[in-house]
Amino acid sequence: MFKKGLREEACQSIAKFFYNNVIPFNVAKGEVFTVMFDLISRYGLGFKPSSYHEIRVKYLKEEVTNTSLALQSHRDEWKKMGYTIMNDGWTDKKRRAIINFLVNNPKETVFLKSIDASVISKTAKKVFEMMDNIVEEEGKDNVIKVITNNAINYKVIGQMLMTKRKKLFWTPCVAHCVDLMLEDYEKKISIHEKTLRCLHENKGALIRMFTSDDWKSSKFAKTNMEK
């Protein structure tokens, strides 16, 4: 009973830490979150948390080193099978154009880096140079394909890459192509406009429904509706 009371008090403190610092609740589902508390409990009473300076300097440098070593092991694997470089552009709250680069091969998908492309995002030549540098850095002989969105400037960039690098293929992102198709349906066919708007308005409820335990355990989740 004493330990149960201590656990409740500790869990309340953890929850308050999440609330006060606006930390997404999904963080609690991560393996790192569980491992952290396991290691703290092994230490026992008197554990002193990491200081601001340790988190900001010491352990950050160590994590960068560890991440670099882990990435190198992935690079060794990529050389055996070849790989695809994918990019995903978005705009942050400061209106900066951020481009994320990921590497995909039959085994896995790995985040590579993010680049602030605010100054060059609208210039095809500059974006081409940036992407060409990524290909060069990661091993031009191992990159089989580059995937980008379907915007006009990226089509131009894709052609430029294939012209320079004869063994490389460029393809537009399938998900982005589908998004553009759905936008056309919404704009040009009135019945689709109403249907798609309904799905968008109920997006949150639909996600909760299809990820709920009630749905997973229901007979409808196992019914083949193709017939």
210 located within any domain: no
59 located within any domain: no
Last residue of a domain, one of 172, 187, 222: 172
Same domain for 114 and 137: yes
pLDDT grade, residue 182 (50/70/90)? confident
Q: Residue 184: which domain range?
A: 174-203
The overall pTM is greater than 0.85: no
> DSSP letters along 9-70, please?
HHHHHHHHHHHHTT--GGGGGSHHHHHHHHHHHHH-TTPPPPPHHIIIIIHHHHHHHHHHHH
Predicted confidence (pLDDT) at residue 227 exceeds the cutoff of 50: no
Same domain for 127 and 189: no
Same domain for 130 and 89: yes
Q: Which residues face 97 on adjacent strands?
A: 91
pLDDT at 193: 62
Between CA 27 and CA 31 the distance in angstroms is 9
Same domain for 186 and 147: no
Same domain for 189 and 140: no
125 located within any domain: yes
β-bridge pairing 143-148 and 169-172: parallel
Same domain for 93 and 158: yes
Predicted confidence (pLDDT) at residue 178 exceeds the cutoff of 90: no
Same domain for 168 and 119: yes
pLDDT digits (tens, 9 = 90+) for 44-83: 889 999 999 999 999 999 999 998 888 888 888 888 878 8
126 located within any domain: yes
62 located within any domain: no
Helix 152-164, helix 124-138: angle, nearest 10: 50
How many domains are there within the chain? 3
Average confidence (pLDDT) over 142-163: 88
Average confidence (pLDDT) over 101-126: 84
